[in-house]
Amino acid sequence: MSDIAETATTDERRDRGGRFVIGGKPGPGRPLGARSKLGEAFLEDLRDAWNEHGIEALRRCATEDPSQFCRIIANLLPRDIDINLTGSIDVADFATRFRTAVELLGNQPPQQPKMKTIEHKATTNARKPA
Amino acid sequence: MPVSQREVDELKAAGERMSLDDADTTLQSVAEIIAFQVYQCRHLGADQAEVLHDIELLARAAEFNKSELRAARDVLRALNYRLPSLSC
């Protein structure tokens, strides 16, 4: 009985080509937690099996098939190490902060000394212009 | 480790290979250039000896004159930079 009802419901949700129709009622979906429970059970079994046979499996692999053993170890190593450290340095930002610090300390870069002017007064001995 | 003439020549050659269009003119004074070099070295984790090595290499390759270096030294000292090799 329930199978018939399920089929009828499914038929209402699909068109002749089997595609979902717009505005159709959604299905009941997966029961809450069903997939995660399966995954958790698998991982528990895997852990138990590993605890029992893991070390022996590794030893046999290392002695009987060293190349496979090396491949396993190689797969555990990180594939890409990012050593690019220069990307975050911003020259303009640094220059702005440096100039601000110099100004705060009142240490402007030394300017070229100005030429001294010689002040003088005209004397009676000075030659008069012609 | 002292700066070798080979290192200076290599840096000079690298600078000469650069196009003028690629030149960054953000840093204007020698003090700013040296300070940025120090900042960059420290950012990369260089120790004090490596920083001083790079500053000396930069100063020799760029051929800063003594008055420029003295002015830079005064500014950097005021900002508490410890650069004993800048004794000109």
Closest CB to B44 among A85, A99, A110: A85
What confidence score (pLDDT) does residue A125 get?
Answer: 59
Cα separation, A15 vs A21, in Å, equals 6
Which of A10-14, A31-35, B23-27, B72-76 holds the top average pLDDT?
B72-76
On the CB side of A18, CA atoms within 13 Å amount to 0
The answer to ipTM > 0.90 is no
Residue B82 has pLDDT above 90, yes or no: no
Is the sign of the CA dihedral A117, A122, A127, A130 positive or negative? positive
* B29–A109 C-beta distance less than 8 A: yes
Entry field: residues in chain B: 88
Can you list the pairs that A26-29 forms with residues at least 24 positions away whose Cβ atoms lie under 8 Å? none
Residues of chain A under the 50 pLDDT cut: 1-8, 112
- Looking at residues B20-32, what average pLDDT do you find? 82
| A105 to B24: CB separation less than 8 angstroms, yes or no | no
State the virtual CA torsion across B24, B76, B71, A98 in degrees, nearest 10.
Answer: 40
pTM over 0.80: no
Q: Distance between alpha carbon B42 and the CA centroid of its chain, in Å?
A: 13
B35, B44, B45: residue with CB nearest A98: B35
The dihedrals phi and psi of A14, each to the nearest 5 degrees, come to -120, 155
Task: Give the helix ranges, DSSP H, for chain A.
Answer: 2-13, 34-64, 66-76, 91-105
Which DSSP state fits A20? B
Q: In this predicted structure, what is the pLDDT of residue A8?
A: 47
- Check if B57 contacts A (Cβ < 8 Å): no
Q: Which two tokens stand for residue A125?
A: 């001995």
